[in-house]
Amino acid sequence: TDSHGHETDSHGHETDSHGHETHGHGHGGENAVSHLLRDETSSNANRDDDVIAETTSWPPRDGPESTPPFPYRFRRNAELPPNAGRGLVLFVDAYTAGIAGDMFVGALLDLGCPLLVVADALARVKNLTGFALVVTHAEKSCVVAPTFAVLESETQPLRDYRSIKEMLRTSRLSAGVKEKALAAFALLAKGEAEVHGSAIDDVHFHEVGAVDSIVDIVAVSACLDYLNCDSVEISPLPMGRGVLKGAAHGPLPSPPPAVLACLCGSGLSTFGVATNGELVTPTGACLVASLTSSHKSTRWPEHFVPLRNAYGAGTMNWRDRPNLLRLVLGKVVDL
């Protein structure tokens, strides 16, 4: 459980009846980007919305830090230009602690994708409002990494797959971003329909239909389209164990049914770990399953020359593993 007594998943997110992650939220109005996380227990809670909604560049500008949690100020990698991944391979190394949508976004920002690419993409989706983006500082086993979060100020509508699909299809997203986001949501909807025995278009995503998971999927899609890598390779995925409690429809097994449904048919391999909890979330599962280029897992790409690496942090502190997703951008060479 978190500090408020809520049941959480392995990345420190509250979970709904399907084991889907939710974020803590609070800002006001239009799509906005902020590097100051509003702490409702501190004086920041009274900060004017126009300050919270300040649009900035990535990485954050130098200046005084706010009260904890602090903005992420470490510069691991220089900002990448468009199409920087052309001719290269992006390796998604989720072997240690799994993957969630927010960890994926954080790692892509740490790799050098501009945060404004994310903000611009989100602004192109109609009726996706009432939130801010924050990137804060985390440290796992002495490895610093950004934590990406979405702050809601407005109650988000309960969205089904039909409505999300329409939002994305009628958006002003580029063709590449739209294709990636639609593919991820289609896979998630198919998995949910199989779990609940319902028609795909009628699947309600609960918290996955809330703004945070739409943001995560669109953000990852926008960053990958910006990089334009030749291929995306995925590591084997760790599967937690035990029972996930606190779900609206009752306890669920770990890994959750929706996660397994997304991974079935993807060709990605999994392995068990002695960790009670959810290491791969439904959002993370639908993203890697829809993005894999080879439709199989690789522990490490063959003849792979790393060029830069990056990390995205989850909020949970595991006793046996650092809660980090690692991305490695590199090239494959002939020996």
Name every residue whose Cβ is closer than 8 Å to that of residue 192 and which is 6 or more positions away in sequence.
18, 161, 198, 203, 205, 258, 261
pLDDT of residue 10: 41
- The SS3 of residue 79 is coil
Q: Which of 153, 148, 144 is nearest to 136 (CA)?
A: 148
Q: Residues 248-271: pLDDT tens digits?
A: 667 888 898 889 999 999 999 999
Q: Which of 251, 263, 284 is nearest to 101 (CA)?
A: 284
Name every residue whose Cβ is closer than 8 Å to that of residue 235 and which is 6 or more positions away in sequence.
91, 92, 93, 94, 95, 297, 298, 299, 300
- The SS3 of residue 38 is coil
The parts of the chain modelled with pLDDT lower than 70 are 1-69, 204-210, 246-249
Q: Residues 34-73: pLDDT tens digits?
A: 333 332 223 333 333 322 233 333 344 444 444 556 777 7
Residue 74 phi/psi, 5-degree rounding, is -75, 135
Which residues are registered as beta bridge partners of 325?
312
Q: How far is residue 289's CA from residue 291's CA, in Å, rounded to a whole number? A: 6
